[in-house]
Structure 1
Amino acid sequence: MKIHREGYPTIAVVLVFLALVNFAVGYFFPHPLLSIPIAVLSTGFFIFIVSFFRIPKRQHTIDASKIICPADGKVVVIEEVYDEEYFKDKRLQVSIFMSPLNVHVNRNAVAGEVLYSKYHPGKFLVAWDPKSSTDNERHSVVYKVDGRQILVKQIAGAVARRIVNYLKPGDIVKQTEEFGFIKFGSRVDLLLPLGTKIDLQLNQTVQGGVTVLGQFN
């Protein structure tokens, strides 16, 4: 398992902060009934923070005929929606909720060309609020693959307030390669052509870069 490069600054700040807290407690309140619990809680919290930025070793699914899940988490939406941002028509939306315990790396669902990549400032509603797809801070990317287009949207939530996206229009990307990161969880939406065959169920747990989401009609 590796640690994502986006995590090093956060991990360093947390480590220094916890070290100072433990030093202060040990210096001013040296009683073991206080210093030992603080040390245990600090260690647990530090491990928790490090886990946010883990990149586990996995065998990714590479299949040009399939759409692969771009994120770890739980499927919370499978429904037809009207896209006002880019397509201006009806699309099939699949949403994956990323909890703080999930891996937070986001991966390309398909191989193809990036047509559109845009950051949108916004609110920080909880990720399961339906309005979070359109009102929250987010970053949208449109891929073109075999004449079809899909939109993948990274959405910030009440806790996740740092979206990282590495793509720009004109990029040619490979399936399951990393394209971004959402610090401390949130959600990822996919807007797919109507008629796309979905191989997932609501509340199903999925792995980014591994689980097959579906395939084009």
Structure 2
Amino acid sequence: MSGILDSIRRIVVPIHKEGYPFILIGLIATFFVGWLWSPLAWIGAIITTWICYFFRDPARVTPIRQGLVVSPADGRVSLIMTAVPPAELELPQEPMTRVSVFMNVFDCHVNRSPVEGRITQILYTPGLFLNAELDKASDDNERNALVIETNGTKIGVVQIAGLVARRIVSFVKVGDKLSPGERFGLIRFGSRLDIYLPLNAQVLVGLGQTAVAGETVLADLNATEPARQYHVG
């Protein structure tokens, strides 16, 4: 019996409560269009099923060790570069390492804390809805910026809305303490997460690599091993 339950849990992934209103709208719309013309019910059912898939919130197994920085988002590592953090983060206006994770509309959009620490700053900034893969989206798009202090080091995490995204949801407030991999927000539909790290942090992912929120280690703040090299096969 336990094996059957485990199989069901692997197939039936929990849905985040933020998705409930959209699923309800999808069900009502499916019923209505199906009543008007039955073949349309299939289209409505497919769209509603996709909405359920989009708002999935699977459990994650987070590696825990002082200094590890895990990915705050599912998606593709789209940028690794040196950049000055946004002014609203109130971090020193000096270059930091920025790792960007781009989420398409098929990725899980629940965001998780990259480190253990306390939130010292949260600031929402209205803006545009440019393609989140563009570098200028970091400065021009609607975004929600957090600063998390971990063992005396401050890192920045910025949720950035994209072409399709129109709503950034935050579950936390200034002063909250987060565990690694703990849920802190969600972005509805395609978007991006930027993580600003000290220059001495060793990045442990490569461009184009697929990241899993709460599981993939992006960087190590206390690394002593040589930097990694990557091969695209």
Q: TM-score, normalised by structure 2?
A: 0.86
User: Which aligned segments of 4 or more residues in structure 1 are displaced greater than 6 angstroms?
Assistant: none
1:60 CA displacement: 2.4
Residue 41 of structure 1, CA deviation: 2.2
Q: Of residues 137, 141, 149 in structure 1, which corresponds to 2:146?
A: 141
Determine if contact 2:29/2:44 at 8 Å carries over to the other structure: no
* 2:177 alignment counterpart: 172
Q: CA deviation at 1:63?
A: 2.4
Match of 1:30 in 2: none
Q: Match for residue 64 of structure 2?
A: 62
Question: 1:60, 1:40 → 2: CA distance?
Answer: 38
**SS of the residue 2:37 aligns to:** helix
1:6 aligned partner: 18
SS of residue paired to 1:2: coil
Structure 1 residue runs of 5 or longer lacking an equivalent are 27-34
Provide the rounded CA distance (Å) in 2 between the counterparts of 1:185 and 1:170.
29
Match of 1:40 in 2: 42
Aligned residue for 1:126?
A: 131
Aligned match for 1:113, one of 118, 121, 124: 118
Q: How well do the aligned residues superpose, as a CA RMSD in angstroms?
A: 1.2
Matched residue SS, 2:66: coil
Question: Are 1:23 and 2:35 matched, yes or no?
Answer: yes
Match for residue 78 of structure 2? 76
Q: Judging by fraction of residues, say which structure has more strand.
A: 1
- SS of the aligned residue for 1:95 comes to strand
Distance 1:58 1:166, change over 3 A: closer
Query: How far does the alpha carbon of each residue in 1:17-63 deviate from its partner, in whole angstroms, 9 at most, with x for none?
Result: 1211111114xxxxxxxx2xx23322221111111100123322222
Equivalent residues of 1:62, 1:176 under 8 A apart: no
1:210 equivalent to 2:212? Answer no
**Post-superposition CA distance 1:70-100 (Å, at most 9, x none):** 1100000000011241221111100000011
TM-score, length-normalised on structure 1? 0.92
1:161 aligned to which of 163, 166, 187: 166
Give distance in 2, aligned partners of 1:163 and 1:179: 11
Partners of 1:213 and 1:57 lie apart in 2 by 19
CA deviation string 1:172-212 (max 9, x = no partner): 11111100001113100001111210000000001000001
* Equivalent pair of 1:76/1:203 in contact (CA under 8 Å): yes
**Percentage of pairs with the same residue:** 40
Amino acid at match of 1:94: V
AA aligned to 2:109 is: H
Superposed CA deviations along residues 126-177 of structure 1, whole A, max 9, x for unmatched, are: 1111111111000000011111100000000110111011222211111111
State the aligned residue count: 207
In structure 2, what is the equivalent of residue 100 of structure 1? 105
Separation of aligned partners in 1, 2:193 and 2:174:
20
| Displacement after TM superposition at 1:5 (Å) | 0.7
